[in-house]
Amino acid sequence: MSEPNGGGRFADYGRPVRVDGGLKARSTRGAIGVSWWSRRFLEVLESFALGTRLTRGRSYARRGQVLSLTVAPGLVTADVQGSRPQPYQVAIELAPFPAALWDRIERELAAQAFFSARLLAGDLPAELEEVFVAAGAPLFPRSVGELTQRCSCPDFAVPCKHLAATFYLLAEAFDADPFELLHWRGRSRTELLDRLRRLRGAGPTAPGRPGGSTSDAETTGGGPGRSTGAPELPANGPELPAAGAGRVLANLPDTPLDETVAAFWAAPVPLPDRPPSLVTEPELLLRQLGAPAPTIGGHGLLERLRRAYRALGGA
Condensed to tens digits (0 to 9), the pLDDT of residues 226-237 reads 444 444 444 444
Q: Is residue 42 part of a domain?
A: yes
Q: Is residue 220 part of a domain?
A: no
Q: Is residue 157 part of a domain?
A: yes
Q: Is residue 135 part of a domain?
A: yes
Instruction: Flag the least confident range among 34-38, 70-74, 186-190, 251-255.
Output: 251-255
Q: Which amino acid is at 282?
A: P
Q: Are 242 and 212 in contact (CB under 8 A)?
A: no
Of residues 195 and 283, more confidence is placed in: 195
pLDDT the model gives residue 267: 62
For 32-50, the pLDDT digits (tens) are 777 888 888 888 877 775 6
Of residues 107 and 238, more confidence is placed in: 107
Q: Is residue 166 part of a domain?
A: yes
Predicted TM-score of the model (pTM): 0.60
Band of pLDDT at residue 308, cut at 50, 70 and 90: confident
Q: Average the pLDDT over 201-229 and give the result.
A: 43
Alpha-helical regions (H) of the chain:
36-46, 52-63, 99-110, 113-120, 128-134, 161-176, 179-184, 189-202, 216-220, 244-250, 257-260, 284-289, 298-313
Of residues 239 and 179, more confidence is placed in: 179
Q: Is residue 158 part of a domain?
A: yes
3-state secondary structure 2-34: CCCCCCCCHHHHCCCCCCCCCECCCCCCCCCCC
Number of domains in the chain: 1
Mean pLDDT of the chain: 74
- Residue range of the domain that includes 117: 10-194+283-310
